[in-house]
Structure 1
Amino acid sequence: KYNPYWVNLFAKESNNIKRILGDELHSIHHIGSTSIPHISAKPIIDIMPIVNNIDNVDKYNLAFDEFDYDVHGEYGIVNRRYFTKFDKETNKKLYHVHIYDRKNDKNIIRHLAFRDYLIEFPEVAKEYEDLKMTLINKYCGDKEKYVNGKNEFVKMTEKLAINWYLQKKITDYNSYQK
C-alpha cells in the first residue's frame, strides 16, 4: 500500500547523502515505486544522486559506511555506484542509492522518465501496480521470476516514457525561449 511518509523518508535520507557528498552532488531524486503516489510498493526508498564526477564517488565509501550503508561499487551497471542501507534492528532493507555521473544522460533520463510518466498517467501506474501484485502472488518470494515478469512491461513503458519525457523537455525549452 502507498505510504505518503515515503516522501519524508526520502527527504531525511537525502540530507544524509548531501552531507556525505557535499559539493560533489549535483542533484538528488526520489525514484522507484515509492516515488509514485497512490501505488503499492515495497517500503524501500530508491534514491538517485547525480554527481559531478562518478570517479570521485569511491572516495566517499568510508563516509557512506559511517552512515550505515553497504558499498557495492558499480554492481553490474557501468558508471554507477550502488549502496544499500538496512534497518539494524529488523535487518530489512530501507534504501537503495543509485549514483550516476551527470553526463550519464541515458540512465538518468530512463529513471526520471519512467517515474514522471507513471505520475502523469495514473492509469499506467495502476496497470503497473496490478502487474506487480499479480507477480507477487504468483511467485511468492522468487525475486528473479518477479523481476523477469515485470521486465516486458517496464521495457515497453520505458520506451514510451523516454519519448514522452524528451518531447516534454523540448516543448518546455521552446516555451522558455519565447
Structure 2
Amino acid sequence: MATMDDDAIADAFVVQVPPYSVPVILEEYDSRWPDRYAAEAAAIRAALGATVLQLEHTGSTSVPGLAAKPIIDMLLIVADTTDEAAYLPALEGLGYTLRVREPDWYEHRCLVRRVEDGAPHSVNLHVFSPVLGAPEIERVLAFRDRLRTHDDERAAYERTKRELAQRRWKYVQHYANAKSEVIEEILARGLETRKSRPID
C-alpha cells in the first residue's frame, strides 16, 4: 500500500518497469477467485514447506462482492525476505518471476505470474518477513477484513475504483496511488477495530 513516485517505481523493479498505458479493466466479483487462490496456495505450500510462515488471500479478489482486476493478490510471510535463496528458486520453479525488490520498504518482494505468459491465472505474490514487514502485514489484513465486514465501505471503495478506472495510467502504481486517500480512511477504521478486539 505504499505510495510511490516514478523514481521509486523504477528503483523497485528488478527488470525494466513495464508501462501500463492501457485502461484498468475491473471485472465483477468472480466466485472462482477463492478457488484460484486455494490452488496457488497449495502449490506454494508444497514447494516451500515449513518456509511458509503464513499465506493469505488479499487484495480485492479476496473480498466477496467487490469488483476487481482479475489478478489474485497473495501475502506470503517467510522468516527473512532478504534470504532469497530460501524461497525464490522454488517459486521460480512454479513459474513465478521476481518483479519488485524494495530494501527500503520493509524488505518487500513481489513475484508475479501472468496469463499472457502462459500461467493459468494472474497472481501478485507479496513477500514479507514477520519482523521487518509487521506494519504492512497488519495494514493489508486490516484493510481486507474491514472490506469483508462493512458493505458501505466496500461500496465506497468500489465507486472510487470504478471512477479511477476511467482514466489511463502510465504505470499501474499510479492507479494504486490514486486510491490511497479512500484506502487510508477505511484502513484507519479497520486498524482501530483490530486494536479493540479482546485478547483470547
TM-score by length of 2: 0.76
- Corresponding position of 1:40: 67
Q: Which runs of 5+ in 2 are unaligned?
A: 1-27
- Whether the 8 Å CA contact 2:139–2:187 is kept in 1: the answer is yes
CA distance in 1, matches of 2:58, 2:34: 11
- Relative distance call for 1:56 and 1:89 in structure 2 (3 A) is closer
1:155 aligns with 2:154: no
Please tell me whether the aligned partners of residues 56 and 75 of structure 2 are also in contact (alpha carbons under 8 angstroms): yes
Which of 53, 62, 77 pairs up with 1:26?
53
Deviant stretches of 4+, over 4 Å: 88-93
Is this contact kept in 2: 1:117–1:165, CA < 8 A?
no
AA partner of residue 132 (structure 1): K
Give the stretch that moved more between structures: 36-45 or 47-56.
47-56
Q: Distance in 2 between matches of 1:13 and 1:91?
A: 11
Q: Displacement, 1:38?
A: 0.3
RMSD: 2.2
Does residue 6 (structure 1) correspond to residue 33 (structure 2)? The answer is yes
Deviation of 1:68 after TM superposition, in Å, equals: 1.0
Is residue 2:196 matched to residue 1:167? yes
**1:60-88: CA deviations, max 9, x gaps?**
22222221111135246332221001125
Shift of 1:49: 1.3
Determine which structure has greater relative contact order: mean sequence separation of CA pairs < 8 Å that are 6+ residues apart, divided by chain length: 2
Measured after TM superposition, the shift of residue 92 of structure 1 is: 9.5
- Higher helix fraction: Structure 1 or Structure 2? 1
CA contact (8 A) 1:73 1:83 kept: yes
Residues 105, 43 of structure 1: alpha-carbon distance in 2 compared, 3 angstrom cutoff: same
**Amino acid across the alignment from 2:130:** R
Segment of structure 1 superposing worse, 106-115 or 90-99: 90-99
Match of 2:155 among 104, 126, 138: 126
TM-score, normalised to structure 1, is 0.85
Greater shift, 153-162 or 120-129, is seen at: 153-162
1:58 aligns with one of 69, 74, 85? 85
For residues 75 and 133 of structure 1, do their structure 2 counterparts lie closer, same or farther at Cα, with a shift above 3 Å needed?
Answer: same
Paired residues of 1:28 and 1:47 also in contact (CA < 8 A): yes
- Contact 1:84–1:93 (CA under 8 A) maintained in structure 2: no
Find the counterpart in structure 1 of residue 126 from structure 2.
98
Deviation at 1:149, TM superposition (A): 2.4
CA contact (8 A) 2:106 2:128 kept: no
Q: Which amino acid aligns with 1:12?
A: A
State how many pairs are aligned: 170
Report the 3-state secondary structure (helix = DSSP H, G, I; strand = E; otherwise coil) of the residue aligned with 1:96: strand
8 Å CA contact 1:86–1:95 kept in 2: the answer is: yes
Q: Is the 8 A contact 2:161 2:179 kept in 1?
A: yes
Corresponding residue for residue 67 of structure 1: 94
Counterpart-to-counterpart distance in 1, 2:39 and 2:84: 21
Identify if the C-alpha distance between structure 1 residues 5 and 145 changes in structure 2 by more than 3 Å, giving closer, same or farther: same
* Higher mean C-alpha deviation, range 7-16 or range 150-159: 150-159
